[in-house]
Structure 1
Amino acid sequence: MDEAADTVLAVAKEVLDTIDSASNALAPLKAVTGPALLIYKKCKDFKADQKKWRELSERILKHLACVMSLMPNSSQNPHPELRNCALELENRLQQILEHVKQVQSGNTVQRYKNYIIKNDAVEEDTRSFDDALERFKTSLNILTTLEVSQINSILGSMPDLDSLVLAMSDLLREQTNTFRADLESARRDIVSHISGPNIVDSLPYADGVSFRPNRGCWPGTRVKLLKEIANWMSAFDAAKSMEIFWLAGVAGSGKTTIAHSVSKQAELNRQLLTSFFFDRGYVEKSKPNDLVSTITRDLASFDPQIKKALEAILKRKPSLRSASPASQFEHLLLAPSVIHSYPKDKCFVIVIDGLDEGYDEECLDILTRQAPQLPGTFRFFVTSRPQLDIVRAFHPIPVIQKHTMSIRGADNVDDIAVYIRQRLSDIVKRPSGWPGEHLVAQLIERSGGLFQWAVTAIEFLSHRVNKDKALAAILNTRHASAVKMDDLYTTILNACPWDDEDFAAGYQQFMGTVITAKEPLSISAIQRLHKDPNPDAGTIFEYLASLLLGTDSDPEPIQVIHLTLREFLVARFSHVSPLPKFHLNERLHHTIMAQRCLEIINQDLTPDMPYLEFLGHTDSALPVMNREQLPEALYYACHHWSSHLMEGEYLREEMIPALQIFASTRLLYWIELTVAFGVLPEGLSYVIHWLEDKSYYVNFASMML
């Protein structure tokens, strides 16, 4: 085994040495191979106590060798996207090299101190390298060059990672000029399509993050605050700088509901430019990557003069389509020609809800350093929990006005009282006055100023037959705000029929799907993903209606009522024994979802579908599809199966047949369908990365043999 490992390293080093010494090698490759070889050289003689650094250097060599073997032998200028990805990879390698030098520097005592400090950096360096390499691989579209039969041979015969590396290197060299040609042709068609008059529309756009008009504040509540915000939005001055209205509050205080109302009012006043609602529970709503590009596209739709200025910039610099959000903000939104085209008599309102659920350092830098350079016609309304990073970033910025949600304040308590009284009168068909002023007052007091608690409690009451018993259970919850929502969730879940085996199984099946779904799904799509008509998803969700949104209408996607519910079901009891019956094992349900998605693809993605079998035909125009042309469950399965596989707990034995069928009969169709949606397939990169974890791969290989 050691001899085989040495052979792999020798092959990998030979590949990188050849590229590094070649005069005609592409510049991005030489920039990457140089630091990689230097890292390996410095780490190979490390002592045993620094084994992790040696392992990282060997990992870098192996993985880069596989990637570099795919590059064409050409001295042509590389595509800007490839240059950007190579630059990122080079920066990561330079950082790792700097860490290695620090570990080696100084006398024995200093080196020991550096080891203690920097050894913890190995794991972070490994992750950053993997991330950068993944983007570099995707830009090359490496992993889609494999033929189906050869994928099967690799998956079924490789006993370990080192053998996999060698086989992959040989195979990828052979296949580079075959299937790649078809995909590159498709890529050219896409680029040609987006380089015309619709170039602004080629910018990434975040779907499903906009406000919902029906999720605003209850009539008669938040009146004073909403009026203050409306006056602030209208009091813009083009001659001054933009302003940010930051509404900070604890979880459950009602920030998101207010954001929906602000968005709705701004839209009615023709002021709303963009509404962006972050949601940590869904991967596409939990990252700020597309925030700036979404705002840019909305600006282009808002005013034709702005669109004209943006088009001119993108035609000169098409690489901005895939640039970082900060670069897009700087070169698009803050470009002099674009700023000059902003109308001075219109207010642009941008609503960002739940910033704490999706921010990163770059996002905070954009809001605190770049956004203040916009003219005073821009108004940003931002909500978040008072997270320390956000508080520190926002505090010194003059254009940011902080408003804290005081859950104990008189206005907030009065609003909750209005809501509870009106909702009780609407849902209770009894003699007037139930349940009595004393119990109503207790219910208001028990909310502790958390509007979300009041909403969830009333929804629970509305779905119970014995409302006296339900009210007594609610009033028996604890007072401490930290556990108040947890106690309410426990009360509601304990009222479900857990003695019914069908309900218990259906709860795990369908709520597991809701919790792990990468985007919200309708009831019918959830049912389809699980194939069997029994148990019925709609029936299960009826018991859980007070905890979910969208149960009243099938086309409406199902979502948890609040982020705290997801945290409660997944994380709160993960280390408790025995686990409560309503606990959900997130990784297990990712594994189940991966299998369900593969089964849907294998069954529903057939060659007689439109838009397929266009690769390899030079006379075939590139089709353009949208999600409405596919059944919801199939669209979801094609887009997210690999993500679920990566995040799963383990490889289930019953998943092997589904993977075999997919690899042998559906892989090409899946690639074609993905390309038809305007993106290049990245799922295989996730799968191969997953297989490269030896513990997974050996387990998988042993079951295949």
Structure 2
Amino acid sequence: MEVVGVVANVIAVVDLSAKLAVLCGEYINKARNATKDIERLKNESEALAKNITQVRDLLGNKNDKDEGHKRKLKASAEFHDDVTECEERLKLLVTKLDPGSNPSRMKMLGKSLKWPFSCKEVMDNVESLRRWREAFATAMQVDQLRIAVRMDDDLDMRNLPEAEGAHFDAYDQEKEPFCHQETRKDLLRQINDWVDDPNGKCLFWLRGLAGTGKSTISRTVARNFAERNQLAASFFFNRTVEGRNNARLFATTIARDFIRRVPQLRDRILAVVKEDPELARTILRTQFKKLVLEPLQHLTMKGPLTPTIVIVIDALDECDSETTDLELDRSRIVVSLLADLATVTGVKVRVFLTSRPELPIRLGFRDDVPQDSHQDVALHDIPDAVIASDIRFFINSQLDVTRSLYRIPPSWPGANKIGKLVEISVPLFIYAATICRFLMDKRKPFPPQKRLDSLLSHTKRAKTGIEKTYKPILEQLLLGVDEFEQEDLLQQFRKVVGTIILLADPLPMASLCKLLQSDPEEVEYFLGSFHSVLNIPDDAKSTQSIKLFHLSFREYLLDNSAGDNQFWVEQDRKHNELFELCVQVMTAAEGRDFYLKKDICSLDDPGVYCEDVDEEVVRSSIPRHLEYACLYWFHHLRNSQKPTDNETKILRFLKSHYIHWLEAMSWLGRIDQAVEEMMALDDMFRPLGSTTSDFIVDARQFLTQHKHAITVAPCQTYVSALLFSPLSSAVRQQFWYEVPERKVAGSGYK
């Protein structure tokens, strides 16, 4: 039942009840009989009109375009039948009492009106109107309470941050593949049997080398159990995406998925967050215990059999360790936390986990997980014949698309070449997928037949599985190009593609070009050659980010251990270039519309609270490329070869834009990150004992002292933060010119 329909009926009742009260008033003045009956009906209709007007105001006007005034209030929808019945009764009463609408029943006696109802009819109508009035009042109270509770819940949800795009069905995952219906059949059947087995183990660990198809299997498993209404949560780690490359948002994201998929868990999780709003900032073990384990331990679901819920965790190896201590490695901790779910009894919990067989994860399963609570399958242990059969199905299905796209005869490429493709692909599904995308790409200058022949000949020279996946495709870039042009192309490759693989968080095409300070048409044209290895939106103006199809492409470009990778991207050097680009983006320059400055959102109100400013205002004032520079300049500095070599650039940036950066970070909700980075910067430069290190120490103290004010009201950076800093503060002295004059006068300063 749409709330707009309820509103329409309510408005009709408002009008009719008001009209009934007016008509009763006329009868009191002009009728000679039944005065008390008329007054009773008039009083009840007036009370109903007052009550139903409040309901109308609560629901909102049906013509109001603001969806905020069209609340879908469940209780209001439930009394739709009462509203409809009330409307029909009021229509009858008005029709009977209105001489203009029914003169045959309303006889004028001189200047008097004859009251048309008996005493019993009046009492029946008054009682009906009273009953409806009380029903409406009750429903309105319920809905007002529901609004208050929902607002409270929304506030609690803000304290439950999630990693964007981590769910299997997230918007960012839309183009990611699932298993072909004829592939992985035995493995998927084994996973289904494990979930359905009442005595099945809690954990299922699917391990395999890079490119063996683990993530595709994970997405398929998640989708299958979502369709069976058994999926409780999913988290897909990704080393190249902020928020998904570490475990900081792991527990909170799982908890939010619980709220979405298991309604019985909602109230308990929100109650925990309400009790401790800072829970998301505590250690991972505490978060997981309070938000995941304990809610599940208190969960009981009705039914003759204990129900089973499934949690899918993909690519755990892509979770940043955040330490060199194997005991404290985040991926190992996640394994031990997931093992604790075996203690849940009110519902059967099954956790499907994939990763490469990295040491911390292996140690976690060996030392931290009871043997009777997990099982594992190694993809590389599956017989080659089974993998070859699956890959053959996949290649044939993709070649069907290519033949249709290019109108190629069905005899191409022939059994012999398909056999070679299968042979060189096993056991790497990523190779087969990459080659098929390459053959399908209409942006390539040569037809698929020629491309396939070239790839098969180049593949023979490749030394490793990853090399044979990417080297033949990248070498197509250099075909028919002389030595000097090759060097230009390789420089452009390292500039553009090298940036994409090392970004801390993927960027859309337009934002990438602004960060690189490059012509969008040139970058778009250049990237046209890489659609088989990069997921590039067709529309260059799209807000979707450019992403890697697979992490192994990044790993190939960063590896030059053999000394002959001409596409090698020197990681620490590239990070240094990105640090410099971030600083340039944040710094004012001729022709640059967006950069760090005081009152970046142009609000002209130093006291405005962060929560009172619409997110769109912030987004339009701090566009994506500037946001990236603010959030990740320190990330690139820290990963450069020798961060302290940038001492002069850092001091210049901090003395020009430090408090502007703090304001921007506050608008972005990342002041905690700023605190951590200033502490790390202090640790990095303190041993130098230089002017730079002295300024950094003062800058860190400034932020620590005024963190709360800056977090709540970003523009207080220029008012209370500067005014109440010590006179000796280097930050105060450097940025005193930014204090608004009216505030200085009010404080006795000039």
Q: Distance in 2 between matches of 1:566 and 1:248?
A: 20
* Residues 618 and 633 of structure 1, relative CA distance in 2, 3 Å threshold: closer
C-alpha contact 1:522 1:558 (8 A) present in aligned 2: yes
Unaligned runs of 5+ in 1: 1-192
2:279 pairs, out of 320, 328, 331, with 320
* Aligned with 1:364 (options 312, 325, 335): 335
- Would the aligned equivalents of 2:251 and 2:291 in 1 still touch at CA under 8 Å? no
Q: Does the 8 Å contact 1:245/1:400 carry over to 2?
A: yes
How far has the Cα of 1:205 moved from its partner?
1.9
State the Cα distance separating 1:368 from its structure 2 match.
Answer: 2.5
C-alpha spacing 1:388/1:586, structure 2 compared with 1 (3 Å): closer
Structure 1 residue 388: deviation in Å? 4.2
1:633 matches 2:625: yes
Q: Normalising by structure 2, report the TM-score.
A: 0.60
CA contact (8 A) 1:220 1:418 kept: no
Please name the residue that 2:298 is paired with: 340
Match of 1:256 in 2: 215
Shift of 1:664: 4.2
Q: 1:126-152 CA deviation, whole Å, 9 max, x = no partner?
A: xxxxxxxxxxxxxxxxxxxxxxxxxxx
Contact 1:233 1:349 (8 Å CA) reproduced? no
Alignment partners' CA distance in 2, 1:659 and 1:547? 39
Q: Determine which of 215, 227, 232 is the counterpart of 1:268.
A: 227
Residue identity in the other structure for 1:402: D
SS in structure 2 of the partner of residue 386 of structure 1? coil
Take 2:337 and 2:670, find their aligned partners in 1: how far apart are those partners? 27
Shift, 1:493, TM fit: 1.4
Aligned equivalents of 1:659, 1:307: Cα separation in 2: 48
In structure 2, the CA distance between the partners of 1:619 and 1:418, relative to structure 1 (3 Å rule), is closer
Aligned-pair CA distance for 1:628: 5.0
SS in structure 2 of the partner of residue 435 of structure 1: coil
The residue aligned with 2:361 is 390
Provide the rounded CA distance (Å) in 2 between the counterparts of 1:196 and 1:242: 35
Specify whether residues 654 and 234 from structure 1 end up closer, same or farther in structure 2 by C-alpha distance, changes over 3 A only: closer
Cα displacement string for residues 145-203 of structure 1 (whole angstroms, at most 9, x for unaligned residues): xxxxxxxxxxxxxxxxxxxxxxxxxxxxxxxxxxxxxxxxxxxxxxxx99976324413
2:425 maps to which residue?
447
Deviation digits for residues 401-435 of structure 1 (CA, Å, limit 9, x no counterpart): 32232454433211211111222232143222112
Which of 357, 371, 395 pairs up with 1:420?
395
Question: Residue 417 of structure 1 aligns to which amino acid in structure 2?
Answer: R
Matching residue of 2:684:
690
Q: Does 1:456 align with 2:467?
A: no
SS at match of 2:204: strand
Give the partner amino acid of 1:541. L
Q: In the alignment, is the contact (CA less than 8 A) between 2:299 and 2:347 conserved in 1?
A: no
Aligned to 2:552: 564
Q: Matched residues in 2 for 1:567 and 1:413: separation?
A: 25
Q: What secondary structure sits across from 1:692 in the alignment?
A: helix
CA change 1:422–1:696 in 2 (3 A) is farther
Secondary structure of the residue aligned to 2:532 is: helix
The CA deviation at 1:529 is 0.7
The verdict on how the C-alpha distance between 1:460 and 1:621 changes in structure 2, with shifts beyond 3 A counting, is closer
Provide Cα deviations, 1:541-575, integer angstroms capped at 9, x if missing partner.
Answer: 111222212353443322222222212111x2157
SS in 2 for 1:206: coil
Task: Mark the structure with the bigger radius of gyration.
Answer: 2
Summarize the Cα distance change of 1:332–1:486 in structure 2 as closer, same or farther, 3 Å threshold.
Answer: same
In structure 1, what is the equivalent of residue 730 of structure 2? none
Q: What is the CA–CA distance in structure 1 between the aligned matches of 2:231 and 2:550, rounded to whole Å?
A: 25
State which drifts further: 255-264 or 455-464: 455-464
Residue 478 to residue 700, structure 1, CA distance change in 2 (3 Å): farther
2:666 is equivalent to residue 668 of structure 1: no
CA drift at 1:230: 6.7
Q: Alpha carbons of 1:427 and 1:304: their partners in 2 closer, same or farther (altered >3 Å)?
A: closer
Q: Distance in 1 between matches of 2:619 and 2:440?
A: 35
Partner of 1:352: helix, strand, or coil? strand
Residues 214 and 364 (structure 1 numbering): CA distance in 2 closer, same or farther, change over 3 Å? same
Please tell me whether the aligned partners of residues 222 and 231 of structure 2 are also in contact (alpha carbons under 8 angstroms): yes
Secondary structure at the counterpart of residue 398 of structure 1: helix
User: How does 1:214-293 map onto structure 2 within 5 Å?
Assistant: 214-222=175-183, 224-225=185-186, 227-228=188-189, 231-232=192-193, 235=196, 243-282=202-241, 284-293=243-252
Post-superposition offset of 1:386: 2.7
| Equivalent position of 1:135 in the other structure | none
Where does residue 668 of structure 2 map in the other structure? 677
Larger RCO: Structure 1 or Structure 2 (Cα < 8 Å, ≥ 6 residues apart)? 1
Cα distance change on mapping 1:271 and 1:508 into 2, 3 Å? same
Q: Which residue does 1:25 correspond to in 2? A: none
Change (3 A) 1:408 1:467: farther
Distance 1:377 1:480 in 2: 51
**What are structure 2's unaligned runs of at least 5 residues?**
1-149, 320-329, 589-593, 696-750
Of 257, 263, 267, which residue of structure 2 is paired with 1:308? 267
Q: Does 1:528 align with 2:514?
A: yes
Residue 653 of structure 1: how far off its partner (Å)? 9.0
Q: What code does the residue aligned with 2:474 have?
A: L
Local SS of the residue matching 1:351: strand
Q: 2: distance between equivalents of 1:328 and 1:619? A: 29
